[in-house]
Structure 1
Amino acid sequence: MCHLILFLPVFGLAVFLVWPLSMAGPIYTVIFVLSLLMYVLVIRVMRRPVITGSEALIDSRVVVVGANGDHWRVMVGNEVWEADAPEPLRSGESVRVVGIDGLRLKVSRLGSGAGSTE
């Protein structure tokens, strides 16, 4: 149903069947301009970065809170996640999330690993 709004300029052509050209022209112009503004807003929203879900965790900084066997535990906001790291980490160290495998994060030291900008 919401996709029908994208066809508003096409549906707006019906004003030319109902009213004379002197009235239909300005009415259709308003419909067309409002549609263009809506398209611009939709494209802006679609280009925004992900801010929710596990995808938003990638490239974020987290703090190591301890070890659990051969895995690490990291604090992400108010949550504790299991993490894998290619090298040993220290408790209290800040690391960067470089990927997600199911419910386990893949982390690396700051300044190393994929996706690092430092």
Structure 2
Amino acid sequence: MCHILLVLPFLALPLFWLLPQAVAVPVYGVILILSIAIYLLAIRAMRLPVVTGPEALVHQLGVIIDRQAGNYRVRLQNELWNARSDEDMQPGERVEVVSMQGVTLKVKRASMAKSGKM
């Protein structure tokens, strides 16, 4: 259905064969303006930041809740996640998500400028 909206100006071209020109031009103009509006809305929607999935977690700030043999439990957006880090950190420290490997977060110590935001 959505792809038909993209080619709507081309599908409306037969109006010029079926209707008198005095009627076809305004009808086609309305279809063309609506199509341009739909294109602009689609482009704006594609440029919005990611809000779901693993990509949305990168650069988010969390707090270490627990530590067990190099693995950490991190509270991030009111959820508990398993995490790993190359740094040695203690419970209560703020961390920033660097990446996600499967369902395990890779974290680093949050910088002072960022940890004030949380």
Query: Normalising by structure 1, what TM-score?
Result: 0.89
Alignment of 1:64-79 (within 5 A): 64-79=64-79
> What letter corresponds to residue 36 of structure 1 in structure 2?
I
> What letter corresponds to residue 79 of structure 2 in structure 1?
E
The aligned length equals 112
Alignment of 1:24-103 (within 5 A): 24-103=24-103
Task: State the distance in 2 between where 1:10 and 1:107 align.
Answer: 51
Task: Give the aligned partner of residue 5 of structure 1.
Answer: 5
Task: State the distance in 2 between where 1:43 and 1:69 align.
Answer: 47
Q: Bigger shift: 76-85 or 97-106?
A: 76-85
Task: State the distance in 1 between where 2:11 and 2:106 align.
Answer: 50
> Deviation string for 1:63-118 (max 9, x for gaps)?
11011222111001221111111111121111100100011001111239xxxxxx
Task: Give the aligned partner of residue 116 of structure 1.
Answer: none
Contact kept? 2:70, 2:85, Cα under 8 Å: no
Task: State the distance in 2 between where 1:90 and 1:70 align.
Answer: 10
Q: Secondary structure at the match of 2:7?
A: helix
- Give the CA RMSD over aligned residues: 1.3
The Cα shift of 1:15 comes to 1.1
Task: State the distance in 2 between where 1:86 and 1:111 align.
Answer: 15
Task: State the distance in 2 between where 1:54 and 1:95 align.
Answer: 16
Task: State the distance in 1 between where 2:36 and 2:68 align.
Answer: 54
- Aligned sequence identity (%): 42
The list of structure 1 runs, each at least 4 consecutive aligned residues, that deviate by more than 2 angstroms after superposition, is none
Q: Unaligned stretches of 5+ in structure 2?
A: 113-118
